[in-house]
Chains A and B, each alone.
Chain A
Amino acid sequence: NAGVMQNPRHLVRRRGQEARLRCSPMKGHSHVYWYRQLPEEGLKFMVYLQKENIIDESGMPKERFSAEFPKEGPSILRIQQVVRGDSAAYFCASSRTPGQASGNTIYFGEGSWLTVV
């Protein structure tokens, strides 16, 4: 997971503020995934993106959350009007290609810990 870069590593926001988490995938990877880990729980899939496209956002909350992966620059997970329940670790992962035949492996970043006070 050394190549997937996330920042910030720790972020504190007051209720109602916005949080922006950034993820730069490994070199050569064009597929990005975001996962959320609530305290004392496992990781839950949020969204899967390719460059400029959202492929699967079935795990994203319907409101306040959005994600993008522009042609240039990192992927951004944006949380508007944060609430205490958004406090969690947010992990980004990347892969070279998807699919069963590709033999790809998903690599995780170090995570961004969001605390809402």
Chain B
Amino acid sequence: ELKVEQNPLFLSMQEGKNYTIYCNYSTTSDRLYWYRQDPGKSLESLFVLLSNGAVKQEGRLMASLDTKARLSTLHITAAVHDLSATYFCAVAHYGGATNKLIFGTGTLLAVQP
């Protein structure tokens, strides 16, 4: 069964600092998603990573995927308060007829002024 682990679970950062969120998964997959969720809101899609070595950047966020290590990272550069949210990674799981996303536990990011 596919398992997805994220760490850290909680991250308190100061504005201007850099940090990385890690997402490990247990079985082969060819697609990994990163989402942002604000309290009481739905999921905002940030990145879809499709291949080994994929790197995508949007503003202060950069995501990468290493399928051999079964690891994705979400790197935050020079954090600002507006980035405070919960971030989820999700791994696509195909097996037989099924097709679903398995989510990590989430990382609650709090950026302090």
A100, B94: Cβ atoms under 8 Å? yes
Q: Which residue of A lies closest to B30 (CB)?
A: A100
Interface set, chain B 89-113, CB cutoff 8 A to A:
90, 92, 94, 97-106
Q: What would 22 A/B residue contacts be, using CB atoms closer than 8 Å?
A: A1-B42, A33-B100, A41-B106, A42-B105, A42-B106, A44-B103, A48-B99, A55-B98, A55-B99, A56-B100, A91-B42, A91-B43, A98-B94, A100-B31, A106-B101, A107-B45, A108-B42, A108-B43, A109-B42, A110-B41, A110-B42, A111-B41
Give Cα A103–Cα B48 distance, bound, in whole angstroms.
Answer: 10
Please judge, given known A-B contacts A98-B94, A100-B30, whether A43 and B103 are in contact too, CB under 8 Å.
yes
- Alpha-carbon distance between A46 and B90 when the two chains are bound, in angstroms: 15
Interface residue? A99 (CB, 8 A) = yes
A interface residue count range (under 10 / 10 to 19 / 20 to 34 / 35 or more) = 20 to 34
Q: Name the interface residues of A39-85: CB closer than 8 Å to any CB of B.
A: 41-45, 48, 55-56, 58
CA A110 to CA B42, docked complex, whole Å: 5
A93, A106, A108 interface centre (most CB from chain B within 10 Å)? A106
Q: Does B88 contact A (CB under 8 A)?
A: yes
Chain A nearest CB from B74 CB (Å) reads 15
Contact partners of B33 in chain A: CB under 8 A: 106
A1 to B40, CA, bound (A): 16
B99 touches A98 (CB 8 A): yes
- Considering residues B31, B43, B45, B97, which has the most beta carbons from chain A within 10 angstroms of its beta carbon? B43
* Chain B interface size range: 20 to 34
Interface residues of B (CB under 8 A from A): 30-31, 33, 40-45, 48, 50, 88, 90, 92, 94, 97-106
4 extra interface residue pairs, beta carbon distance < 8 Å, beyond A45-B103, A56-B99, A113-B40 = A48-B100, A91-B42, A105-B48, A110-B42
B41 to chain A: which residues have CB within 8 Å? 110-111
* B45 x A45 contact (CB < 8 A): no
